[in-house]
Chains A and B, each alone.
Chain A
Amino acid sequence: MTTDPRAELRSFLGSRFPQVELTDEEDIFALGFVNSLFAMELVLFVERTFGLEVPNDELTLDNFRSIKSMSELVQRQTGQAQSSQATS
């Protein structure tokens, strides 16, 4: 099982916005942080760091809105991957 993804996510966001302390549930869109370029960076970071491919139906703003929502996305996807490996 994947370890808690939140630390990695917080570290990445902190490297991009070092002047801000983000809580897990803080809406990064509401803070004005995210434009289309940063959205692409987020997707690349999540996919590379956690070794997954975010499917189209998970590519929603809500899934990238906060550390918590991204963490849940990662856990959903890695859980699915492990589940499909276990059944194959």
Chain B
Amino acid sequence: MTTTSIPTLDRAAARAFVDACVVPAAASFEHDERIPRSVLAEVAALGAWGGLVPRDFGGTGLDMPTLGAVHEEFGRGCSSLRSLLTVHSMVTWVISRRGTAEQRTEWLGPLASGDMLASFCLSEEEAGSHTPGIATTARREGDTWVISGRKKWITGGQIAGLYLVFARTDAGISAFLVPAQPGVAVQPITGLLGTRASMAAELTFNDVRVPAGAMVGPGGFAPGFVLTAGLDIGRYSVACGSVGIIQGCLEASARYARVRHVGGTPIGDFQLIQAKLADMVTAAAAGRALCERAGRLKEAGDAETVMATWIAKYFASQAAVKAAADAVQVHGANGCTDSYPVARYYRDAKIMEIIEGSSELQQITIADAAYREDPR
């Protein structure tokens, strides 16, 4: 795979792209509950689908802090598009990190170029964070695995060409790479509260056969060695995307507060408005600092990154909800319309508190660490 045509991707490039191609169209993405193929192709030209794919396989091979900055910028523009990047990055990370040489050769090229998008298929009706509830099965028949079950809330499931499916085997939970095929029934999920253009789907695997070599990582205990690695990347991306929401709320509110007058006075002169903007500035800076710390630790392969990422996601997602609520308040009735982006930020922010581990799960996990590390 040549590396000569691989673009340079950093925060500045992502910001310019998002301002030109995403911000002006994000409302229509949400309204249509989909992102046009042409936009996905432009994301490919930017090199964003291959952020976590090594350059040897045609990816942009970003370091973790840069990946976080890029996903923040996408989150500022459109959380649905950032969600697609999130799940795609989770799968490419798992293949890059735990895939066999054959799996890397087969899949990383098309995933890096964006010719094929990927979805992370964990959640089911009775399983999400609670992985023991996974009911999807994979049974061995000769040289194949036969996968049966139903996955729910699968971001990008409507358009993915490759699914990373977690399924129960005799040895425990394992992970499989499953290409889209007629045996996989795709039912779009519409009318979501937020991230409406993330093209989520419910997927039914009807005795889908894949080769024995489709298993990623060890057979059994994938939750410990594969799933957590993928979810850690997802959590990091969502944390960074949440900072992007805060930054978007700040920019929209500052702009609006300068031009909106009440009784001849710009509302930006009112201290109660200033207090909301000050909180947004502070939340963006604090959330970004937590994400950057998690990214640096991740880049160094430091085990501390696991908890640092939980903390970043917990803080940033909750701060995004508050920032979005304040941004709508700053905009008043205008903020309740589609004429401004803040209503969409408000809807999308709430999703951030639920995906990749709810706020309550974050609290339990962070508190557990505090208890276990208390020497008294």
Q: Give the nearest-CB partner of B98 in chain A.
A: A56
Choose one: A12, A17, A48, A56; the contact of B218 (CB below 8 Å).
A56
Task: Looking at the assembled complex, report how far the CB atom of A66 sits from the nearest CB atom of chain B, in whole angstroms.
Answer: 16
Q: Are A37 and B228 also in contact (CB < 8 A) when A16-B373, A18-B373 are?
A: yes
Residue-wise, chain A 1-41 has the 8 Å CB interface mask toward B (1 for contact) of 00000000000100111110000000000000011110111
Given A16-B372, A16-B373, A36-B224, A41-B218 contact (CB < 8 Å): no
Q: What CA separation (Å) do A34 and B372 show in the bound complex?
A: 12
A8–B212 alpha-carbon span in the complex (Å): 38
Question: Would you give the shortest CB distance from B356 to chain A, in whole angstroms?
Answer: 13
In angstroms, Cα B219 to Cα A60, docked, is: 9
| Measured CA separation A39–B306 after assembly (Å) | 11
Contacts of A56 in B (CB 8 A): 98, 100, 217-218
Which B residue's beta carbon lies closest to that of A42?
B303
Once bound together, how far apart are the Cα atoms of A44 and B307, in whole Å? Answer: 13
Which single member of B131, B221, B375 contacts A19 (CB below 8 Å)? Answer: B375
Q: Is the interface of B mostly helix, strand, loop or mixed?
A: helix
Contact B98 A37 (CB under 8 A): no
A60 and B306 in contact, given A17-B372, A47-B301, A48-B300 (Cβ under 8 angstroms):
no
Select which of B218, B232, B301, B365 is within 8 A of A59 by beta carbon: B218
B296-333: contact bitstring with A at CB < 8 Å (1 yes, 0 no)? 00001111011000000000000000000000000000
Once the chains bind, are A36 and B375 in contact (CB under 8 Å)? Answer: no
The chain A residue with its CB closest to the CB of B227 is A36
A39 in contact with B373 (CB, 8 Å): no
- How many interface residues does chain A have, given as a range? 20 to 34
Q: Tell me whether A44 and B373 are in contact (CB under 8 A).
A: no
Residue pair B225, A39 in contact (C-beta under 8 Å): yes
For the complex, is B229 an interface residue (Cβ under 8 Å from A)?
yes
CB pair B224–A18 under 8 Å, yes or no, is: no
How far does the alpha carbon of A59 sit from the alpha carbon of B227 in the complex, in Å? 13
> In the complex, what's the smallest C-beta–C-beta distance from A5 to chain B, in angstroms?
15
Let me know if A57 and B218 touch, CB within 8 A: yes
Measured as residues with beta carbon below 8 angstroms from the partner, the interface class of chain B is 20 to 34
Contact B224 A41 (CB under 8 A): no
B39 to chain A, nearest CB (A): 34
Q: Which of B224, B302, B374 contacts A39 (CB 8 A)?
A: B224
Considering the chains assembled together, what is the distance between the CA atoms of A64 and B334 in angstroms? Answer: 57
The complex places the Cα of A45 from the Cα of B304 at a distance, in Å, of 9
Pairwise interchain contact B306-A44, C-beta atoms closer than 8 A:
yes
Neighbouring A residues of B211 by C-beta, 8 Å? none
| Interface presence of B223 (CB below 8 A) | yes
Using a CB-CB cutoff of 8 Å, which residues 110-134 of chain B contact chain A?
Answer: 131
Measured between alpha carbons, how far is A35 from B365 in the docked complex, in Å? 11
Most interface-central of A17, A18, A40, A43 (chain B CB within 10 A): A40
What are 29 A-B pairs with beta-carbon distances under 8 A?
A12-B303, A15-B373, A16-B372, A16-B373, A17-B372, A17-B373, A18-B373, A18-B375, A19-B374, A34-B224, A36-B223, A39-B223, A39-B225, A40-B224, A40-B228, A40-B229, A40-B232, A40-B306, A41-B303, A42-B303, A44-B306, A48-B300, A48-B301, A48-B303, A56-B98, A57-B218, A59-B217, A60-B218, A60-B221
Excluding A37-B365, A45-B303, A48-B303, 17 further A-B contacts by CB distance (< 8 Å) are A12-B303, A15-B373, A16-B373, A18-B373, A18-B375, A36-B223, A37-B306, A39-B225, A40-B228, A40-B232, A40-B303, A41-B306, A43-B225, A44-B301, A44-B302, A59-B217, A60-B221
> Which residues of A line the B interface, CB within 8 A?
12, 15-19, 34-37, 39-45, 47-48, 56-57, 59-61
